[in-house]
A and B are shown apart, each in its own frame.
Chain A
Amino acid sequence: MNKIAVEIQDLSKTFISVKKKAVIIPVEKTRVDALKSITLDIPKGQIYGLLGPNGAGKTTLIKCLATLVLPTSGTARVHGYDVLKESTYARASMGVCQGNERSIYWKLTARENIIFFAKLYRMPQNEAKERADELLGQMGLLEKADIKTEELSHGMRMKIVFARALIHDPPVLLLDEPTQGLDPTFATDLRQYIRNSLKSKTILLTTHYMHEADLLCDKIALINEGEIKSFGSPQELKEDVRDYDSIHIKTKGDPDLGLIREIDGVMSANSTTRNGYSELVVTAKDGYDLAHHVLNLIHQDQSARVEHFEIKEPSLDDVFLKLTGRRIED
C-alpha cells in the first residue's frame, strides 16, 4: 500500500490576465506565475504546513489539489487518485476547509447545512442525520444545531465550516487558513481538535500564523512567489538560521545606525519606526555577548533612549526573512 497520501509533482500554475479594451480587443497581457514547479510528498498521517505571506501561492496550491483550479502543468495525486483524471475520486477522498465563513449557507441551520452536504457526499437521509449529530456534538454545537447560521457567532460558523469538511471522514484534509479571523479561544479549540482528534488524517494546512505552523505541523514548506524556499520540521528550519541571534531594541528617538554597524561582531543593524518609537534589530553571531556594547552606545548617544530590549532566538518568521527578504505577516 502506498505510504504517500498526497503527491505533488512539478505542479505549475500560470495565470494570464488580459486587459481588454471595448469589451473584446486585448490590449495588455499579464502573466503571473502563481506556482512554479512545486514538488511535495506528504506521507500518510502527517500534518504539513504551507507557510508564506499573502499572494505566495498557498491558496492556489490548495485549489489545484481541490480540483477548483486546473494546473498549467504537472500532476498531483490525493489518496492515490489523480486530481485531473480521477477528480471525482480525488474529491471524495479529501475534505476541504477554506477559512471562509461564507462557504456554508447562512439561511440554513447548522444541522441542515451538514445534512445537505452529507447528501452531496452520497449519504442517505438517516445516515446524514446521524453524522450531523455526531459532528456537531464533537464541535460542541448540538445546542445550537437548529438555529440559523446567520444568527450564530463567527467562531461557531467557522466550526460548522470545519465540521463540513469532515462529513465523509476523508483520509486527507486540506485546510486553507482554518483559524483566520477567529478569536483566540476558538482558534485554540480548533488547533487542539486538529492535534488531538485528527491524528490519523493526512493534513495540508496553509497559514500565515507562524506559531500555528510551529504548533501543528510535522513538516513545513516555506513558500514565496510560487516556490518552496525551504522545507523541513519547524526545528530543522530554525536550526538553519541559528547561526545568528537578533537583538531587538525599542527606543524613543533615532539611534545612530552607522555607529552601531561599526561595532565589532555586528552583522546587520536596521531600524523601523512604529507608533513614534524606533525599533532597532541588530543581528550578531552571539547576541548575548554583544548586547551591552550596543546598549552602551545608544546610552551615550543623547538623541535616543532605550525603552525595551530583548534578545530573540530565531522564529519561523526570521527563517522566512532570511530566505526571502520579506516578512510573512507583511
Chain B
Amino acid sequence: MTQTESSSLHEKMMKRGGLRAELRAANALSIKQWRVEFSYPLSVLYFIVMPFLWFLPMLLAGTAVAGSPTSSVFGTYTGTTDWVTYIAIGSAFSGLAMSLFWGTGMAFRREQNVGTLETLMTTPIRRDTIVWGTMLHNVQHGGLGVILQLIFSVLFFGATLNLWGVFPALGIVVLAVIGMQGIVFALTCIVLLAKQGWMIIEVVSEVFLIIAPISYPIVVLPPILQYVSLASPLTWSVDAFRSFLMYGFLAPGIIQAVAALLIIDILFIVVGSLLFKYTERYVRAQGALSQF
C-alpha cells in the first residue's frame, strides 16, 4: 500500500461525517446485533414462540372470567366488547416496548460485558448513535414480534383487525419509538451509573407497562395511577395504535392521542438526550467506563 493511497483513505473518512455517517453506523450496529443473536440457535426459537407465550396466559385469564370472547362490562369501559382483539393488539405492542426497554436500555451493559464498549467509544461515531443503532435493531426485532403476534392472534385466537389502519398504525409506531427512546436514554443512564441497574430497569419498565392500557383500559387503575398514566408516551401510543388497527383511518379520539403523543415525545426525547449526554460525560470523568 502506498503512502498516497493510505492518506486518502483517512482524508476520505474525515470528509464524510454528518447524518449519513451516523445512519450508516446505526445500521451497522443493528446488523451486528442480528448476527450476534442468530449465533444462539435457541434465541431464534424463542423469538417465534414468544408471542404465544405472552399472550396465552392473558387470554386464559380473560376466558376464566368472561367465558366468551365478548364482554359487556368491557364494552362499558372501552367502547368495544371484543376484549380478545383489544388485549391481542395491546400485548403485541408491549412486546415492542419490552424489546426497546430491555434490548436498548441494556445495550451499554451488554457491550461492556463482552468487552467491546470502549472500542465502540473510540470510533468517531456520536455516543448516542450507539443507543440509536441498538434501538434500530430492537425496532426491527420487536416490530417483527408485533407482526408475528398479530398474525397468530388473527389466525388462532379470533382477533379481528381493520387493514385500513395498518399504515397510520405504523406512523404511531414511529411516534411511539421517539418517546420510548427518551425513556431508553434515561434507562441507559441508570445502567451507566448503577451496578445493579437491571433491577431498576425491570421496575421502571414494568411500571410503564402496568400504567399503560395494554390489556385493560386505564380506568381500572387506582385514580392516582390514571393521572400518571396520561404522562407516559406508552399510554397514548398503545391506544392510538390499537384504535387504528381496530377502527381503521377514522378511529375515534385519534387526533387528541396524536397531539398528546407529539408533545410528550418532544419532552421525553429532549430530557432523555440531555440526561444521557451529561451522564456519559460524568462516567468518563469518573473513568468508570470499563468497570461500571
Q: Which residues of A contact B (CB under 8 A)?
A: 13, 15, 34, 60, 63, 66-70, 72, 88-89, 91-94, 96, 98, 100, 102-108, 112, 115-117, 119-124, 131, 134, 148, 164, 168-171, 200
Contact = CB atoms under 8 A, between A and B. Distances in A.
Interface string B150-175: 00000000000000000000000000
Contact of A103 (B119, B126, B289): B119
Give the top 6 A-B pairs by smallest Cβ distance, nearest first: A102-B115, A119-B28, A92-B124, A122-B16, A120-B123, A122-B21
B6 interface: yes
Given A69-B284, A103-B116, A88 B122 contact: no
- How large, as a class, is the contact surface on chain B? 35 or more
B286 interface: yes
B24 A68 contact: no
Contacts of B31: 116
Interface of B: 1, 3, 6-7, 9-10, 13-14, 16-17, 21, 24-25, 27-29, 31-32, 35-36, 39, 114-116, 118-126, 281, 284-287, 289-290
A108 B35 contact: yes
B10 A122 contact: no
Contacts of B122: 66-68, 91, 94, 96
A170 B121 CA distance: 16
Given A103-B115, A148-B39, A92 B1 contact: no
Nearest to B115: A102
A161 to B, nearest CB: 8
Contacts of A121: 13, 123-124
Nearest to B15: A122
Given A89-B14, A120-B28, A168-B9, 7 more contacts: A91-B124, A98-B118, A105-B114, A106-B114, A134-B1, A169-B10, A171-B7
A115 B121 CA distance: 17
Contacts, number: 114
Among A107, A122, A169, A170, which residue has the most Cβ atoms of chain B within 10 A? A122
A134 to B, nearest CB: 7
Contacts of B7: 169, 171
B6 A200 contact: yes
Contact of B32 (A72, A92, A105): A105
Contacts of A123: 13
Nearest to B126: A88
Contacts of A89: 14, 124
Contacts of A93: 10, 14
Given A68-B284, A92-B14, A134-B1, A107 B124 contact: no
A122 B35 contact: no
Contacts of A72: 285
B28 A116 contact: yes
B191 to A, nearest CB: 17
A117 B116 CA distance: 11
A236 to B, nearest CB: 30
Contacts of A60: 287
A131 B9 CA distance: 10
Contacts of B10: 93, 168-171
B47 to A, nearest CB: 16
A59 to B, nearest CB: 9
A47 B116 CA distance: 26
Contacts of B124: 88-89, 91-92, 120-122
Nearest to B16: A122
A164 B119 contact: yes
A121 B123 CA distance: 7
A68 B126 CA distance: 13
Contacts of A148: 39
Contact of B287 (A15, A88, A102, A117): A15
Nearest to B120: A120
A139 B114 CA distance: 24
A11 to B, nearest CB: 13
Contacts of B284: 67-70
19 contacts: A13-B287, A34-B287, A60-B287, A68-B289, A68-B290, A70-B287, A88-B17, A88-B124, A100-B115, A105-B32, A112-B32, A115-B28, A116-B32, A119-B25, A120-B29, A122-B16, A131-B9, A134-B1, A168-B13
A69 B28 CA distance: 25
A105 B287 contact: no
A288 B39 CA distance: 64
A117 B123 contact: yes
A124 B29 CA distance: 14
Contacts of B115: 100, 102-103
Contacts of B116: 102-105
Nearest to A59: B290
A168 B31 CA distance: 20
